[in-house]
Structure 1
Amino acid sequence: MQVPSWDELQNLLIDCLNGKHLWATALAVFIGTFLFMALKSWWDASQTIDLQASAIQVGDIIPTELAKYDGHDPFRAILVSLRGTILDVSAGKEMYGPGGSYAHFAGKEVARALGKMTMDPKDCTDKVDDLTPEQLKTLEDWETKLKAKYPVVGKVVPPKRLTLQQLREYGGQDKSKPILLAIRGVIFNVSRGAEFYGPDGIYPFAGHECARAFALISTDVADCNDNLEGLGAMELDNLRDWEAKFNFKYPIVGSLVKE
């Protein structure tokens, strides 16, 4: 078989570009696509992923909120807590996700369990004051290892216990404080919805108990209370729907207490 000359190759390329020699055009497209995908795969693999920079910060959350990050919700990260420091272990979902060998750690505080090297769910707490020196050393080793591998995304904090009067202080006027509201005594942090619930928002609910208002689909501040007397089945369904939406969208930070 005679090898084509340079001029013949140039003419063949021009013909391919002009739509002639369809078999050659298809071959050229295939080879070009293959080379592009190979180079792209090499480039992607060569890039270092900064987990700390890419992780979503959850900030200060209470234990019941941490429990929502147990790997069962595909829209949430998988988190664990180590002496109150929250780590995003989503990169290790094969171990911490559902069915993984450490799945029972997800969404929990695991200091005691790691110190004792136990898989008992009862040891998923931050109680370490009775651990032996050897167990505390084991815990410290785990802390060093896990914090080097997974990004820190927040802290576990105690739930707030606020009176209605104290809740008023979280109405959005003080920029140093989060924007809070309550539904049937459960307090939600709605700061991420400041355009709706902040001082200039369309819903005047911040700093109030809003159960009746949500049931009535009312924006009257006079309806911002927990009195559900006289409400019908449809209105109570409205309230349950709003509670479900808030539980999904906004973090719970505590509960109301009597004056």
Structure 2
Amino acid sequence: MEWVPWLLHDNWNIAVAVFVAALLVLSVRAWLRPGETPLDFSHSEPQHCGDITLQELAKYNGRDYFRPIYVAIKGQIFDVTDARDFYGPGGSYQVFAGKECARALGKMAIEADQCTGQIADLTRRELEILDDWELKFNQKYTVVGKVVEPKSLTLAQLREYNGSEEAKPIYLSICGTIFDVSKGREFYGPDGMYPFAGHECARAFALLSTDTADCNNNLEGLNSMDRENLRDWQAKFHSKYSIVGEVVAS
């Protein structure tokens, strides 16, 4: 037990030990108090998302507690995380979270099918109501980005985003959904270990293959394990990378 005298005679280590012990006690107390959250992530600095598609916006619907909650009005994206009680799961306005809500706000509707940017047919009064809501959101919440149209790329166009040009983002596709994997350049760039950049990769992910010959969307002959692999990879990419568009026929 040689470490005991060393610890007791080292004031710095004693201080650290006391701090850690106190932190653990406070954490346990917080967990034991019914109705309280040990760690509160609801109040934080707004997280800017930049230009994102509606499909990407949908990820910020409050169901993932570690993501902010976003609402879009006429293309402007607001961070409403501090109002989680209203926009989070179970909240009065949860239907708006992760959606473009201009039409719904103008019509004072809380139906999901009204959460769109289609406002051309709104009445003058409804447009005034929408303007009032937009003003309130601008006064209360921070604009963190804007909604943009998804990219529509052919497979030939997708190959132009293979990481060979630093000025361009790096894209890959899984079952037609295009992900921006630029932040994983060390893996998907020219010197990375995965040759998937600029390709449709559904079959390769299903087979856990790094053979470019498997970089296609042919799912014929896959067994249940292969399909499970594909679903797992889709979920991982959906969670980690931004959706920027879809592959279209040439």
Band of TM-score, shorter chain: 0.7 to 0.9
Amino acid in structure 1 at the alignment position of 2:72: S
Cα displacement (A) at 1:208: 0.4
Classify the secondary structure of the residue corresponding to 1:243: helix
Classify the secondary structure of the residue corresponding to 2:95: helix
Q: Match of 1:44? A: none
Q: Distance in 1 between matches of 2:243 and 2:79?
A: 19
Alignment of 1:11-90 (within 5 A): 54-90=45-81
Amino acid in structure 1 at the alignment position of 2:87: Y
- Equivalent residue for 2:218, pick from 227, 250, 253: 227
Q: Distance in 1 between matches of 2:246 and 2:105?
A: 31
Q: Note if 1:112 corresponds to 2:94.
A: no
Q: Note if 1:152 corresponds to 2:143.
A: yes
- Equivalent residue for 1:101, pick from 85, 89, 92: 92
Q: Match of 2:173? A: 182
Unaligned runs of 5+ in 2: 1-42
Q: Distance in 2 between matches of 1:163 and 1:237?
A: 27
Amino acid in structure 2 at the alignment position of 1:90: T
Cα displacement (A) at 1:83: 0.5
TM-score by length of 2: 0.76
Q: Distance in 1 between matches of 2:113 and 2:232?
A: 34
Q: Note if 1:137 corresponds to 2:137.
A: no
Amino acid in structure 1 at the alignment position of 2:76: T
Q: Match of 1:207? A: 198
Classify the secondary structure of the residue corresponding to 2:178: strand
Cα displacement (A) at 1:133: 2.7
- Equivalent residue for 1:243, pick from 214, 234, 244: 234
Deviation beyond 4 Å, 4+ runs, structure 1: none
Q: Note if 1:172 corresponds to 2:133.
A: no
Classify the secondary structure of the residue corresponding to 2:144: strand
Q: Distance in 2 between matches of 1:115 and 1:188?
A: 33
Task: Quote the sequence identity (%).
Answer: 61
In terms of Rg, which structure is larger?
A: 1
Classify the secondary structure of the residue corresponding to 1:87: strand
Cα displacement (A) at 1:233: 3.1
Unaligned runs of 5+ in 1: 1-49
Cα displacement (A) at 1:253: 1.8
Count of residues paired in the alignment: 208
Q: Distance in 2 between matches of 1:242 and 1:135?
A: 44
Cα displacement (A) at 1:171: 1.0
TM-score by length of 1: 0.74
Cα displacement (A) at 1:120: 3.3
Counterparts in 2 of 1:132 and 1:233: CA distance versus 1, 3 Å: closer
Q: Distance in 2 between matches of 1:220 and 1:69?
A: 34
Amino acid in structure 2 at the alignment position of 1:210: C
